[in-house]
Amino acid sequence: MALGLETKKSELKPLSTNKAVAEAAKDSNVDVVAAYPITPQTTVVERLAELIGEGELDAEIIHVESEHSALSAVIGASAMGARTFTATSSQGLALMHEILHIASGLRLPIVMSVATRALSAPISIFNDHSDIMNQRDTGWIIIFTSSAQETYDTIIQAYKIAENSNVLLPVMVAYDGYVMSHTIEPVEVLGKKVAEEYIPKKVSWNRLDPDRPITIGTITSPDYYYEFKYAQAKALESSLQHILEADSEFKKKYGRGYGAVEGYMMEDAEIAVLGTSSYFSNLKYAVDELRKKGVKAGAIKLRVYRPFPREQLYELIKGLRALGVIDRSISYGMTPSGPIALDLMSTYRYKNIPPIQSFVAGIGQRRMLIEDFVRIYEILERRASSNSINEETLFYGVKGIDL
Amino acid sequence: MTYELEKIKTLWDIPKEEHLVGGHSLCAGCTAATIVRHLLKVAGKNTIVVNATGCVEVSTTSFPYTAWRVPWLHVAFENAGAVASGVESAINALKIKGEIPVEKEINVIAIAGDGGSFDIGFQALSGLMERGHKVMFVIYDNEAYMNTGIQRSGATPFAAWTTTTPVTRRIRGEWRNKKDMFDIAIAHGIDYAATANPAYPVDMDSKFQKGLSKDGPSLVHVIMPCTTGWRFEPKYGITIAKLATETAVWVNMEYDVGNFSVTVPVKKRKHVREYLKLQGRYSHLSETEIELIQEQIDRKVEEINKRAGKEVIGPLEA
């Protein structure tokens, strides 16, 4: 994996994704951290407090009284020219909702990690993607990661992307709560050199400076508001190229790159299932099982979610006989009920694409074993062969419902 | 803190420089502009202002114009305390990392109305004070949500008419009392809290000065007569502000590291009628109701004198 000479000094550490996130924020040499505790994000901030306490990171930590204030505080710090970091989950992300729009509207390069978790009510501390999917229209760059290593690398890449003067947008790095946040994996950490080599700090955004006073966060009339929002929409759309540039530069330097999407056994695949975050790893195991039985199955990972990597994903799906999409959140009252399935169906409306079967699974971390993923492929195959795929979502794993 | 300004003792000590300039769209006769203008004169150019949503915010930054000659940031209504905490923490971090010279003194001031401090902004303000950020929080208190059209807030005083405490068959204006922000601030263990009044600019400005000189959080709560919401002619703003103190509706107080004092003593109080009668928001009051308000003030004055250890606010004029 490690190709470049520069990676020689790197170190392999056993880290949960949460700890890997803290390590990445430290290696990014952030200036201000503000966060509020919420399960399963907490160990990110606990570890950062330790790192600051041990003198391994020179940063201010703000023990805010809510997530709303966490994001507000990093906005203030970022506007002052600091490199900032925050982390949250679930209700915390929902509480931030108002301020998420303001962070992107003010074009501040904030980086946030999200250990994805279900939303109340009823309360569940376990994983699904209801929290993140509720925030998909807030104007943030959203990247899903599938391993502790990828999360570490992506947090670092996120600063490169966010602070790019052609982008200047906040970035959310999302990974599965518990499944990843609390699972220990080997992670190659790059150390503080990464901040100098790959993301040297340069304040590329407008900041508060008494020697050059500016007014940030003004009120606009109908004569001006629209242009701000159009510019923001275009910036997010065109950020994809900068996300990919940041990824290839990282790969060149450190030997690891991820792209916007990833395929597994897609070269000759006839059917495939798309998943995000840790589900991709399970899908790969399922593909191996199915290949043993002679089924030409493949797996697709959607890594960059906003901006939506339309072209890159199209290259993977265009030749398929059928595609399954697994969502871990519900768009209530909509058919299909899976937000990502809905994204695909609408974005490729005028393209020649295979039938898309929407699945919802893993709500509130309903257990999904390898055999469940195999089963999803089998359902897809069966429905594809009988021409019975339609826009209805199949809710996999609900007690008493047999698909 | 190396504070270059001389202590403000007379009007002549107030700096001439203007950092909030004209051309903004605050109402004619609005006393918020007077308060903020004085605040910035005292604070000077090395100041960063964080403004909560409200009258001052919407009326001074109508894109592409701005009335601010100091760096200014607005994020939302309820979070000025949190945003200012972030600004202050960033200054500290960037000083440690050598990106801002250590010797550079930068004031961080949060400005909010009563909604952005008493009500929706209360949590963030409490967090700011509890954590000890070196930020001065200035409340301009016009005693209702004036920016959205005179709806009651936690700062609306007893009996005041607002659009949500209307004078009707069943309701006769606000029926609850105003929240006590001065003592709430002190209860956070901060070094400095004060109440101020733009009719007493030397007193008000010296409080801004003291607040800024503290190494931690400070709070200055300023009464702000509102021509639109209090229903008076624009020319009466400062007259009414002065009457507020002369009747002891509003007492200019200070808490400075354990020491409580009344900074503007009143020898003989005027009857509260003098203050109420100039304001349309009180025009529905009967004699009985006015006397009830007077009794409330009498009790408050007794408490304040007890706290000051002497008679700082005198009896009613004969």
**pLDDT tens series, chain B, 318 aa:** 445 568 999 999 999 999 999 999 999 999 999 999 999 999 999 999 999 999 999 999 999 999 999 999 999 999 999 999 999 999 999 999 999 999 999 999 999 999 999 999 999 999 999 999 999 999 999 999 999 999 999 999 999 999 999 999 999 999 999 999 999 999 999 999 999 999 999 999 999 999 999 999 999 999 999 999 999 999 999 999 999 999 999 999 999 999 999 999 999 999 999 999 999 999 999 999 999 999 999 999 999 999 999 999 999 998
Contact status, residue B124 vs residue B79, Cβ threshold 8 Å: yes
Band (pLDDT 50/70/90 cuts) for residue A2 is: very low
Q: Which residues of A touch B78 (CB under 8 A)?
A: 68
Mean pLDDT value across chain A: 97
CATH 3.40.50.970 occupies which residues in chain A?
11-254
**Within 13 Å, how many C-alpha atoms sit on residue A296's CB side?**
10
- Closest of B69, B8, B300, B6 to residue B182, by C-alpha: B300
A64 part of contact set with chain B, CB < 8 Å: yes
Interface test with A, best of B17, B50, B51, B87 (most A CBs within 10 A): B87
The reply to whether residue A217 touches residue B46, judged by beta carbons under 8 angstroms, is no
The reply to whether residue A60 touches residue B92, judged by beta carbons under 8 angstroms, is yes
Which of B59-96 are b and which e, b meaning 16 or more Cβ less than 10 Å from the residue's Cβ? bbbbeeebbbbbbbbbbbbbbbbbbbbbbbbbbbbbee
Q: What is the mean pLDDT of residues A333-342?
A: 98
pLDDT at A1 over 90: no
Interface test with A, best of B63, B89, B105 (most A CBs within 10 A): B89
Q: Give pLDDT tens digits for A326-337.
A: 999 999 999 999
The three-class DSSP label of residue A256 is coil
A200 part of contact set with chain B, CB < 8 Å: no
The reply to whether the predicted model has a pTM over 0.95 is yes
In sequence order, what are the residues at sequence separation of 6 or more whose Cβ sits closer than 8 angstroms to the Cβ of residue A56? A26
Q: What does CATH list as the number for A261-395?
A: 3.40.50.920
Q: What does CATH list as the number for A11-254?
A: 3.40.50.970
Question: Where are the alpha helices (H) located in A222-278, listed in sequence order?
Answer: 225-254
Q: Which residues of B touch A102 (CB under 8 A)?
A: 75-76
Backbone angles phi, psi at B68, to 5 degrees: -100, 130
Q: Which residues of A touch B76 (CB under 8 A)?
A: 72, 98-99, 102
The reply to whether residue B93 touches residue A31, judged by beta carbons under 8 angstroms, is yes
Which member of A81, A84, A217 has the closest CB to residue B73? A217
Q: Which residues of A touch B92 (CB under 8 A)?
A: 60
A333 part of contact set with chain B, CB < 8 Å: no
* pLDDT at B2 (0 to 100): 43
Amino acid at B96: I
CATH 3.40.50.920 occupies which residues in chain A?
261-395
Q: Give pLDDT tens digits for A258-311.
A: 999 999 999 999 999 999 999 999 999 999 999 999 999 999 999 999 999 999
In chain B the domains, ranked by start, together with CATH numbers, are 11-308 (3.40.50.970)
* pLDDT at A5 (0 to 100): 47
* pLDDT at B4 (0 to 100): 57
* pLDDT at B265 (0 to 100): 98
Q: Which residues of B touch A98 (CB under 8 A)?
A: 76
Contact status, residue A174 vs residue A143, Cβ threshold 8 Å: yes
Q: What is the mean pLDDT of residues A218-225?
A: 98
pLDDT at A244 over 50: yes
